[in-house]
Amino acid sequence: MKNIYFKRITAIVALLALVISLGTMNVFAVDNSTKSSPVVIGEFDGLLSDCLNSNESMPHTLAAVANVRINSYATYDKDNGIQVKVKLYVPFFDFPKPKFTSMSGTVTVDLNNDADTTSFFETANEESTIESDVDTGVKGNKGDKGTVSVSGVATASNALAGGGAFAISYPVTIP
C-alpha cells in the first residue's frame, strides 16, 4: 500500500514540476524588423454604379437598382511596392445576389507625376463576389503622395445588359 501512495505522490510532484517549468521556458520571438510587411496606404468602398448627375442645379448621387459595391485598397511593401486589391460584392443583407462571371480592368498608380498602369482579369463561376490582387510594382519614398485609379467592367449572368463598368480613385501616401 505504501508503494502505491509513494508512486502517486511522485507522479503528482513530477506533473506539478513540469507545469511550473512551462512558465519559465525561454521563448524567442522572430525578428520581423528587417522584413517589410504590407501596410494599407489608401482605400475606397462604395456603390459600384454611383454617378454624379450634373445636369441638375443641385448635383446628387444616383444609385443603381442592385447595390453592387466596390472595395479597393492599396498596400505598400518595401520589396514589392504598391499592391491593389479590387473586390466587387453585395452586402450580405441585400438581395438578389449577383452571379459574377468576369471582371477586367486597369489599375493606374500616379506617384511623383509618373503614371503606371497595370491590367487585371478575373473569371468566376456565377459567384456572389469577385476579386483580384494587382501587383503594380510601383515604389516610392516615405511621404510620397499619389492616386490609385481603378477602372474596368464586370459581367454577371443575372445583370441587366450582362454587366457594367466601374471607375474609382483614391489618394495614397507611402509610409
Helix, coil or strand: residue 18: helix
Pick the CATH number of 39-174 from 2.40.128, 1.10.1060, 2.60.40, 1.20.120: 2.60.40
Highest mean pLDDT among 60-69, 92-101, 140-149: 140-149
The pLDDT tens digits of the residues spanning 8-53 come to 666 665 555 544 544 444 433 333 444 556 788 888 877 765 433 3
Cell numbers placing 60: 446628387
Distance in angstroms (rounded) separating the CA atoms of residues 103 and 163: 9
pTM above 0.85, yes or no: no
Domain boundaries, the chain: 39-174
- Backbone φ/ψ region at 143: left (φ over 0), alpha (ψ -120 to 50), beta: left
